[in-house]
Structure 1
Amino acid sequence: MSDPMRPRASLRTAVVWEVLKDALDRQVKAAGRESLDVLDTGGGSGNFAVPVARLGHRVTVVDPSPNALFALERRAAEAGVADRVQGVQGDAHGLFDVVERGRYDAVLCHGVLEYVDDPAEGVRNVVDALRPEGVLSLLAAGLGGAVLARALAGHFKEARHALDDPDGRWGESDPVPHRFTADQLTSLVAGAGLHVAAVHGVRVFADLVPGVLVDTEPGALDALLKLEAAAAELAAFHSVATQLHVLGEARGAAEG
Structure 2
Amino acid sequence: MSEPLRPRATLRTAVVWDVLRDALAEQVRATGRDVLDVLDTGGGTGNFAVPVARLGHRVTVVDPSPDALFALERRAAEAGVAELVHGVQGDAHGLLEVVERHSHDVVLCHGVLEYVDDPAEAVGNVVGALRPTGTLSLLVANRNGVVLARAIAGHFAEAQRVLTDDLGRWGQGDPVPRRFTEPGLTALVTGAGLRVAAVHGVRVFADLVPGALVDTEPGALQALLRLESAAAQEPSFRSCATQLHLLADRSQEA
CA contact (8 A) 2:140 2:179 kept: yes
Q: Deviation above 2 Å: which 4+ runs of structure 1?
A: 1-8
CA separation of 1:183 and 1:4: change in aligned 2, threshold 3 A: farther
| Equivalent residue number for residue 69 of structure 2 | 69
1:41 maps to a residue whose letter is T
Map 1:1-256 to 2 at 5 A.
1-3=1-3, 5-251=5-251
1:239 maps to a residue whose letter is S
Q: What do the CA deviations read for 1:157-192 (whole angstroms, capped 9, x no partner)?
A: 111111110110111121111101111111111111
Q: Alignment partner of 1:29: what SS? A: helix
1:7 Cα deviation (Å)? 2.5
CA distance in 2 between partners of 1:3 and 1:133 (Å) = 28
Percent identity between the aligned chains? 74
Q: Alignment partner of 2:117: what SS? A: coil
1:83 Cα deviation (Å)? 0.2
CA separation of 1:22 and 1:252: change in aligned 2, threshold 3 A: farther
1:252 Cα deviation (Å)? 6.9
2:181 maps to a residue whose letter is T
TM-score scaled by structure 1? 0.96
CA contact (8 A) 1:4 1:17 kept: no
CA distance in 2 between partners of 1:161 and 1:211 (Å) = 27
Q: Alignment partner of 1:62: what SS? A: strand
Q: Which runs of 5+ in 1 are unaligned?
A: none
Q: Which runs of 5+ in 2 are unaligned?
A: none
CA contact (8 A) 1:142 1:179 kept: yes
CA distance in 1 between partners of 2:127 and 2:6 (Å) = 30
Q: Alignment partner of 1:40: what SS? A: strand
CA distance in 1 between partners of 2:154 and 2:7 (Å) = 29
CA contact (8 A) 2:2 2:51 kept: yes
1:170 maps to a residue whose letter is W
1:2 Cα deviation (Å)? 3.1
Structure 1 stretch displaced more, 44-53 or 167-176: 167-176
1:9 Cα deviation (Å)? 0.9
Q: Alignment partner of 2:109: what SS? A: strand
CA distance in 1 between partners of 2:4 and 2:202 (Å) = 14
1:4 Cα deviation (Å)? 6.8
CA separation of 1:220 and 1:109: change in aligned 2, threshold 3 A: same
Q: Alignment partner of 2:136: what SS? A: strand
CA distance in 1 between partners of 2:132 and 2:239 (Å) = 32
Q: What do the CA deviations read for 1:209-228 (whole angstroms, capped 9, x no partner)?
A: 00000011111000000000
CA distance in 2 between partners of 1:129 and 1:5 (Å) = 30
Q: Alignment partner of 2:47: what SS? A: coil
CA distance in 2 between partners of 1:252 and 1:153 (Å) = 42
